Structure 1
Amino acid sequence: MKKSYLQAALSTALMAVIYPSYAGVSFGNSDGEYGKLTVSGYVRANYQDKHYGESASDQKIRFDAAQLKLDYEHGPLFGHAEYRCYQYDRLCDFSTLVDGYIGYKLNKTDQVVAGVQPIPFGPGRFWGNSLYGSMSTTAGLEDVHNLGLNYHFELPTATKFDVGYFAVDGGNYTGSTQDSGRYTANYVSSDDPNKTDLQEKNMWVGRVTQDINLGINGLTTQLGGSYWTSDIENKTASSDGRRHAWALFGKANYGNLNVTLTGGKNDVTNQDQLNPNQSLMGSYDSEYYVANKGTFYTADVGYSFKNVKQIGNITPYFMYSHYDKDQDSMKDSIRNIIGVSIDHKQLSLVAEYIMSKNDPFIGGTQDSLAQGDDNQWNKLLNLTLFYYF
């Protein structure tokens, strides 16, 4: 059996047509006997200039991260895996799985996907153009990847549905913390034994989107909504709380202009007698508290200038994001980003100026996204250079 697998692998490698491109290197053919495997990824460098009320700038260019992606196609069967390695103090001191799933295309529009994948909450995986992400990303509402099963289907009326069940989160990987070495912001167990340990499970997430034809040439619009309900296991108290969250969104594209608006509500009970109004979350090897009840808003607008002389594509954009906490004693968290991305062949430069307050990742503390901090604006210039392979 092992010999036949080895022969198949060697045959695929020897007979493959290799396509070097911006999208990676491909072996084989999706309609062939062994399918098509594409290997791609990037390495990236970063420079930051921080203004957090005191001198805190990195003031140097450093290696930031590397990504490896594998994509497989064989008739209606497909698969995808993505792993990332980050450097804080040393190479790959934090690394994590982002996605790992297999899927089956039922027809041209409908499919079933199983594994660690983006959940169908909000307008899509990303709610805007920003590389750094919105406040909803840090709050664990945007760009969430969990382990489960999702069914996507479409109607002739240009109505799209997603129904997903996610048993648990995407897990933790390599890092200095006990449970926060992960890509997605999830509820976690703390390094501190005095803090409550939480885990989200039994997540049901649904989304419906409708394309709207306004009869204007070049304009595409879409409206939709999504709902998320789950159990929040309190391992310390041996009891379960609940999450109920919803989001409404609208997207419009007119030529090279794109606008995305998202708003919704997050409502969590954690069965924690000591901290009933906030819960511990973790991502990117950091842990922090998030207010259990709040309203979130994200507005994003961008314009893409295509094939600008010898440069390539240039896309300036602006994003506003706000987590409005229900508790009067808690200070709201806001993150605004002005940015531009420049794409030239296999290189991309993303420049973002971030203005934020009560933000655990921009000059804040573990309590910034819950109780808040000094309520002052912190600023970050974040430059990231990508080389894609």
Structure 2
Amino acid sequence: MKMKVLSACCSILMLGGIVTSAYAADLTIGDEKSDLGALTLSGFVRAKYQDKSWTENDHKLTFDAARVNLDYKSPKLFGHVEYRCYQFDKLCDFSTLVDGYLGYNINDKHLIQAGIQAVPFGPGRYWESNYYGGVITQVGLEDVHNLGIKYQGKFDTGTKLELGYFPGDGGSYSGPYSEDASRYTTNFVKPENSAISHLDETDMFIARVQQDISGLPEGVSSSVGASYWSSDIDNKTFNTEGDRQAWALFGNLRYNNLGVTVTLGKNDVDNADPITPKASLMGSFDDNFMVANEGMFYTVDLAYSFKDVGKFSEIEPHFMYSQYDKSEDGFKDSTRHILGVTAYYKDLMFVADYIMGKNDFLIGGPADSYAIGSGDKTEHMLNLQVSYLF
């Protein structure tokens, strides 16, 4: 394994050296302070090398993903589109819309935006400093992008309030394997097995409040917050209706270049299903999986940023602990932990993550990982990436 990893690192560094010669130009047209506004194109192209404890098939440097962002900004109006494509078997065989929304600045502290956007649940879109995210991304509560409308307000007391209504999810797109799970966000999806009920989440009311803590020593900043999620779960197979009630508490602490984020909460789904009342079918990234309906979740993230280290503008070691603690007797918990580092050199971003997962379907776990969880073994993956940012 050491020789394989060394070879992969050399390949990634050589690729980085080749790409560095092509700097991204300023891809902005217009002036965001003018009435006409400005349009900006950005994104990345990413390659990866992975070494997995459960397979020998991925020991090669391959194209991983590409992202294109299109942003519009003016004094009153703004908009954002994010589209991504990934490679499973061939170039961009899975592609999906992540965001697509328009917004209006009521003033410099209050705005509304409508379209497919990140829902205001948890400490932010991402709860961690790493690329893969925590195991809660597979539960459908972290990094979720649904169709709806959101209000955001910032107040002089250091309070930030967000209120959202999302009538449905962001839809499915293009992938080689699944009919309905070709999507970025983990949502309830249409089953490919007729023995599993078809669930659809609708009428999502989501709120988040975050409060800055004042009076802290110099170099220290902190905030605490809470969010709540209430929605209907339409059981299309049995023509019944259940619901989801979820909450999260979170806190951020930063001391100079050290950042810590802690999140805890509970997921509680009533799928109104007589066949599988304890778990529900969800899906994302062109795959389907069952998820336990009820459980507590925990995420702890630590990161430290070293600025201007040699030729690197920033080097950031990071650590994450995440767990879905299922409430049902006999269901084994799902965990994902990550230890790694991210480094930035000009327009390149290098990532090296060592990932440990138990009953984590994405990290080599069995098909029932996020439900009853029959896995007894902790799987491991080394993930090396290089991205060209433009």
TM-score interval (norm. to shorter):
over 0.9
Amino acid at match of 2:260: V
Q: Deviations over 1:230-283 (max 9, x none)?
A: 001111111111000000000011111000000000000001111000000000
CA contact (8 A) 1:116 1:145 kept: yes
- Which residue of structure 2 lines up, in the alignment, with residue 36 of structure 1? 38
Q: Distance in 2 between matches of 1:274 and 1:35?
A: 54
Q: Distance in 2 between matches of 1:63 and 1:215?
A: 45
Q: Distance in 1 between matches of 2:131 and 2:388?
A: 15
- Which residue of structure 2 lines up, in the alignment, with residue 60 of structure 1? 60
Alpha-carbon distance change, 33 to 154 in structure 1, aligned in 2, over 3 angstroms:
closer
CA contact (8 A) 2:77 2:105 kept: yes
Which of residues 27, 30, 34 in structure 1 aligns to 2:29?
27
Q: Distance in 1 between matches of 2:279 and 2:226?
A: 26
Give the drift of 1:31: 3.2
Amino acid at match of 1:170: G
Amino acid at match of 2:196: K
CA contact (8 A) 2:101 2:117 kept: yes
SS at match of 2:361: coil
**Mean Cα deviation higher: 133-142 or 260-269:** 133-142
CA contact (8 A) 2:357 2:365 kept: no
Q: Distance in 2 between matches of 1:137 and 1:23?
A: 34
| 1:1-389 superposed matches below 5 A | 25-52=27-54, 55-175=55-175, 176-389=177-390
Amino acid at match of 1:202: D
CA contact (8 A) 2:79 2:101 kept: yes
**How many equivalent pairs are there?**
368
Q: Distance in 1 between matches of 2:26 and 2:332?
A: 45
Q: Distance in 2 between matches of 1:287 and 1:23?
A: 40
- Which residue of structure 2 lines up, in the alignment, with residue 5 of structure 1? none
Q: Deviations over 1:265-310 (max 9, x none)?
A: 0000001111000000000001101100000000000000011121
Stretches of structure 2 that go unaligned for 5 or more consecutive residues are 1-21
Q: Distance in 2 between matches of 1:143 and 1:196?
A: 25
CA contact (8 A) 1:51 1:57 kept: no
Give the drift of 1:384: 1.2
Q: Distance in 1 between matches of 2:215 and 2:75?
A: 36
SS at match of 2:363: coil
Give the drift of 1:375: 2.0
CA contact (8 A) 2:305 2:314 kept: yes
Give the drift of 1:67: 0.7
- Which residue of structure 2 lines up, in the alignment, with residue 8 of structure 1? none
Give the drift of 1:366: 2.3
SS at match of 2:341: strand
Amino acid at match of 2:376: N
Q: Distance in 1 between matches of 2:33 and 2:259?
A: 35
Amino acid at match of 2:132: Y
Q: Deviations over 1:336-360 (max 9, x none)?
A: 0001001111100111100110001
Stretches of structure 1 that go unaligned for 5 or more consecutive residues are 1-19
Give the drift of 1:24: 5.4
How many percent identity over aligned positions? 51
Give the drift of 1:57: 4.4
CA contact (8 A) 2:35 2:75 kept: no
Amino acid at match of 1:92: C
Amino acid at match of 2:97: L
Q: Distance in 1 between matches of 2:195 and 2:93?
A: 26
Q: Distance in 2 between matches of 1:80 and 1:364?
A: 35
Amino acid at match of 1:230: S
Q: Distance in 1 between matches of 2:372 and 2:66?
A: 34
Give the drift of 1:23: 8.7
Give the drift of 1:22: 6.0
CA contact (8 A) 1:187 1:199 kept: yes
Give the drift of 1:39: 0.7
Amino acid at match of 2:129: N
Give the drift of 1:215: 2.6
- What RMSD, in angstroms, separates the aligned Cα atoms of the two structures? 1.3
CA contact (8 A) 1:222 1:251 kept: yes
SS at match of 1:136: helix
Amino acid at match of 1:115: G
TM-score, reference length from structure 2: 0.92
Alpha-carbon distance change, 327 to 228 in structure 1, aligned in 2, over 3 angstroms:
same
CA contact (8 A) 1:22 1:345 kept: no
SS at match of 2:141: coil
Amino acid at match of 2:52: K
**Mean Cα deviation higher: 68-77 or 202-211:** 68-77
